[in-house]
Amino acid sequence: FWSNVQMGPPDVILGVTEAFKKDKSPKKVNLGVGAYRDDNNKPYILPSVRQAEEIIFKKCLNHEYAPIGGDATYANLVAKLGLGDNSLAIKEKRNVTIQTLSGTGALRVGFEFIANHYSHSKEIWLPAPTWGNHPQICNMLRIPHKKYRYYDPRTHGFDLQGCCEDICSIPPGSIILLHACAHNPTGVDPKPEEWQTLSEVIKEKKLLPFFDMAYQGFATGNVDNDAFAVRLFEKDGHQLMLAQSFAKNMGLYGERVGALSFVCADQDTAANIMSQVKILIRTLYSNPAINGSRIVTEILSNPELRAQWLCDVKEMADRIINMRKKLREGIERRGNKLKWQHITDQIGMFCYTGLKPDQVARITKDFHIYLTKDGRISVAGISSSNVDYVAEAIHKVTSS
Ligand code: LMR
């Protein structure tokens, strides 16, 4: 029955982890997937999450089904975390927020909703470059996707001019995907005044902004600062979509907990959208898992736990900043001829090193250091014990 099925390629990101696991070398380092590690290179369970789990355990809760769109208390808390306590859309009940299977689930439900219910231009415009799964989700749903200029390899920075020029040629009504903060893979975000310009141009071109906010807290160490762009767009009167994830900022990777929001023009539209989203979800996975959302709800609703969580996020963000400094110092100390300032200029979990595919292949083969082919490294995988080794390896492969 299945003889026609061909071998597919490994995933561009998760395939790197698969290759890393097979490597027997004691020197191996995984800088592929964006998963936070502590300074001992171990997965990190946030103290706020641990405390929340203990509280939840003591409540002896049952395992009944969640509603199709997830728990309403969770949805309200998460919407406020993204859109802000002063969000007009929330106050006017113009938002639809549902629990999803992390950020990917939010994108998949959101894009599928677009495929089924969006009556304008169904093109999705993605930044160049973007997270490898964005185009894949579009492909799976047969939604056309195109690229707009975002990253300038000459400056290692944001290409505002190129970005605005490209946005001006996007057909009205199309969807523009924006990384809300800590752009993946480049670690380059627009500055606040650049976001303002983007908001104006996107509004003028009548595009639907779809924010992917998988790293709230990782850009600046502060969840409110990192939501600046989303909140600005809402304040500027955009209707928008928002994907959120608690994989990174609560370390709840395997819990698959996130959210999808729509900011609509009015309450009636919001009610219609909610009804259709429920129909969509019912056919996909019926209703979401309950454990992760309980943890998020406990943390966001309990003032002490919430304060602890904000410290936990800051601690993770600060460790990454520290590793960026050490990595840059380590490469420069060896007298490397290239410029490495972008390592410390870029923000969030990733550094877009500028390593070429052949250098990536060499650093993996000779040094057992694993990263994606585009030269992205997850700085979260660097620790005090391996930073020097990684610096040496980068120096070596860029010097010969
Ligand atoms: C990444 O970009 O490494 C993360 O978002 C993990 C993933 O699922 O790709």
Task: State mean pLDDT over 325-332.
Answer: 98
Position in ligand 1 atom list of the atom nearest CA 133: 9
Query: What CATH number has the domain bearing residue 382?
Result: 3.90.1150.10
Position in ligand 1 atom list of the atom nearest CA 32: 3
**Band of residue 369 on the pLDDT scale cut at 50, 70, 90:** very high
Whether residue 218 is predicted with pLDDT greater than 90 in this model: the reply is yes
Domain boundary residue, one of 272, 301, 330: 301
Position in ligand 1 atom list of the atom nearest CA 104: 8
Label the pairing between strands 151-152 and 157-158: antiparallel
pTM for this model (two decimals): 0.96
Q: At 294, phi and psi to the nearest 5?
A: -65, -40
Task: State mean pLDDT over 237-253.
Answer: 98
Q: 184: Cβ below 6 Å to ligand 1?
A: yes
27/156 same-domain check? no
Q: What percent of the chain has pLDDT over 90?
A: 98
273/386 same-domain check? no
Q: Could you tell me if residue 215 is inside a domain?
A: yes
Q: Could you tell me if residue 53 is inside a domain?
A: no
Q: 249: Cβ below 6 Å to ligand 1?
A: no
Domain count within the chain = 2
pLDDT tens profile 264-312 = 999 999 999 999 999 999 999 999 999 999 999 999 999 999 999 999 9
Whether residue 400 is predicted with pLDDT greater than 90 in this model: the reply is no
Strand partners, 210: 177, 241
Check if the beta carbon of residue 182 is closer than 8 Å to that of residue 348. Answer: yes
Domain boundary residue, one of 257, 275, 301: 301
Q: What three-state secondary structure class fits 242?
A: strand
Angle at 335 between CA 334 and CA 341, to 5 degrees: 95
Among 30, 133, 320, say which to mutate for ligand 1: greatest number of ligand atoms within 8 Å of CB.
Answer: 133
Distance 289 CA to ligand 1 centre (A): 20
Q: How far apart are CA 14 and CA 18, in angstroms?
A: 7
107/222 same-domain check? yes
293/147 same-domain check? yes
Q: Could you tell me if residue 353 is inside a domain?
A: yes
Q: How far is CA 148 from CA 164, 178, 276, in A?
A: 9, 11, 30
Q: Could you tell me if residue 60 is inside a domain?
A: no
Strand partners, 125: 146, 176
Check if the beta carbon of residue 226 is closer than 8 Å to that of residue 46. Answer: no
Domain boundary residue, one of 269, 301, 333: 301
How high does pLDDT run on average in the chain? 97
127/223 same-domain check? yes
Q: Whose CA is nearest to atom 4 of ligand 1?
A: 34
Q: How far apart are CA 369 and CA 363, in angstroms?
A: 6
Q: Could you tell me if residue 307 is inside a domain?
A: no
Task: State mean pLDDT over 243-252.
Answer: 98
Q: 130: Cβ below 6 Å to ligand 1?
A: no
395/259 same-domain check? no
Q: 34: Cβ below 6 Å to ligand 1?
A: yes
pLDDT tens profile 33-53 = 999 999 999 999 999 999 999
pLDDT of 122: 86
> What dihedral angle (degrees, nearest 10) is formed by the CA atoms of 158, 162, 167, 168?
150
Label the pairing between strands 240-245 and 208-213: parallel
Distance 2 CA to ligand 1 centre (A): 30
Position in ligand 1 atom list of the atom nearest CA 11: 9
Query: What range defines the domain where residue 199 resides?
Result: 65-301
Whether residue 179 is predicted with pLDDT greater than 90 in this model: the reply is yes
What are 261's two structure tokens? 């929001």
Whether residue 121 is predicted with pLDDT greater than 90 in this model: the reply is no
Which of the residue ranges 10-14, 63-67, 192-196, 272-276 would you say has the lowest mean pLDDT?
10-14
126/251 same-domain check? yes
Name the more confident of 121 and 191. Answer: 191
Query: What CATH number has the domain bearing residue 192?
Result: 3.40.640.10
Distance 214 CA to ligand 1 centre (A): 9
395/267 same-domain check? no
Q: Could you tell me if residue 359 is inside a domain?
A: yes
Q: 33: Cβ below 6 Å to ligand 1?
A: yes
210/357 same-domain check? no
Whether residue 345 is predicted with pLDDT greater than 90 in this model: the reply is yes
Q: 253: Cβ below 6 Å to ligand 1?
A: no
Check if the beta carbon of residue 201 is closer than 8 Å to that of residue 167. Answer: yes
Q: How far apart are CA 387 and CA 31, in angstroms?
A: 11
Q: Could you tell me if residue 23 is inside a domain?
A: yes
Task: State mean pLDDT over 365-393.
Answer: 97
199/128 same-domain check? yes
Q: Could you tell me if residue 199 is inside a domain?
A: yes
The size of the chain, in residues, is: 400
24/117 same-domain check? no
Q: Among all residues, which ones are annotated catalytic?
A: 131, 212, 248
220/279 same-domain check? yes
